Amino acid sequence: MGYEFDGQIAVVAEETPGRFRADLAAGWVVGGGVNGGYQLAVIGNAIAAALPAKPDPIAMSAYFLSPGAPGPAHIDVDVRRDGRRVATVAADLVQGDDTRITVLATYGDLAGQDGEVLTTAPEIDLPPLEECVSNSFAPPELRKIAPLLERFDMRFHPDQVGWTVGKPSGEGVLSAWFRLIDGREPDPIELLMVVDALPPVTFELGRMGWAPTLELSAHVRARPAPGWLKVRHQTRNVAGGMFEEDCEVWDSAGRLVAQSRQLALFPR
């Protein structure tokens, strides 16, 4: 143990039933707020603490109400239905008087899954690690506004980093190898963060501004195998000042372990 991510998502039960205390880490700031996916992992950890027999997120839908800030927070978990196989909860992450994120989620035990797998989605196509572009090359001015970059070892597809030199591909796809910097192995709670860790796919459309998320829904489809993850973000429909961003996460065993879709504001 002793991985930094475990400390950063740690929750402590309070006396109020269903309430958990957390501390949002400054190391997860990006631009004007704390990364949304990281906050989902904190919420996810609180829900797991409230549901000891159903430790794994299966589906989570998050609506973003205000930007999170580093510092104290609490999570209120309300179990709406606790069935034989899955439980469904509502939960809020709150700082002071402001709800940051409100979620609905279904939890279960992914270790007890039916073993049948029929995946027709093609695995994410990434060149070998050594041919990809490391986030450690990010310029100091970017690292300053995005300290969360220090949390990851990311290796971007070399054909999808045009945005870093002002030459975006215009394709609306961003993919990368991914792991936490200190080698913590992935688990279902971590995947709630991974689906929102890459830069917005709009960077590859030449829009370098902030793309605030309205809604993000994630499905965790299996416990990930140890090792590097492959992550891909893609948008196929920019309209009405918004865009959808689909994300897939594949594990080192070649399994599609998470799918998510978010709706975000298209940067002007």
- State the sign of the Cα–Cα–Cα–Cα dihedral 68, 155, 248, 44: negative
CB-neighbour burial class of residue 141 (10 A; exposed 0-12, middle 13-18, buried 19+): exposed
Tell me if residue 4 falls in helix, strand or coil.
Answer: helix
Subset of 79-98 contacting a second copy (CB under 8 A):
80-81, 86, 88, 90
CA–chain centroid gap for 45, Å, is 13
Q: How far is the CB of 265 from a second copy (least distance, A)?
A: 9
**Is residue 109 within 8 Å of 48, Cβ to Cβ?**
no
**What is the closest distance, in whole angstroms, from the C-beta atom of residue 218 to a second copy in the complex?**
10
Query: Which region, judged by CB under 8 A, interacts with a second copy, from 24-32, 103-111, 152-160, 193-201?
Result: 103-111
Shortest spacing between CB 124 and a second copy, in angstroms: 13
Element of type H or E holding 62: strand 56-64
Q: Hunting for tokens 């918004």 — which residue is that?
A: 242
The least CB distance from residue 201 to a second copy, in Å, is 11
Among 182, 215, 226, 254, which residue interacts with a second copy (rule: CB under 8 A)?
Answer: 215
Binding status of residue 219 toward a second copy by CB under 8 A: yes
Which sign, positive or negative, has the C-alpha torsion 126, 131, 134, 140? negative
Alpha-helix residue ranges (DSSP H) falling in 3-116:
4-8, 36-50
Question: Nearest approach, Cβ of 267 to a second copy (angstroms)?
Answer: 12
CB closer to a second copy, 115 vs 128: 115
**Among candidate residues 103, 74, 91, 90, the one with its CA nearest the CA of residue 12:** 74
In whole angstroms, how close is the CB of 256 to a second copy at the nearest point? Answer: 5
Binding mask 133-162 for a second copy (x = CB under 8 A): ------------------------------
Residues in 25-44 that interact with a second copy by CB under 8 A: none
* Residue 197 interacting with a second copy (CB under 8 A): no
Answer for which of 106, 135, 160, 175 binds a second copy (CB under 8 A) is 106
Q: Find where tokens 């920019």 sit.
A: 238
Q: Which amino acid is at 238?
A: V
For residue 226, give the DSSP letter.
S
Instruction: Give the interface with a second copy as residue ranges (CB under 8 A).
Output: 58-59, 61, 63, 65-66, 80-81, 86, 88, 90, 99, 102-104, 106, 110, 113-114, 116-121, 172, 205, 214-215, 217, 219, 221-222, 235-242, 244, 255-256, 259, 261, 263, 266
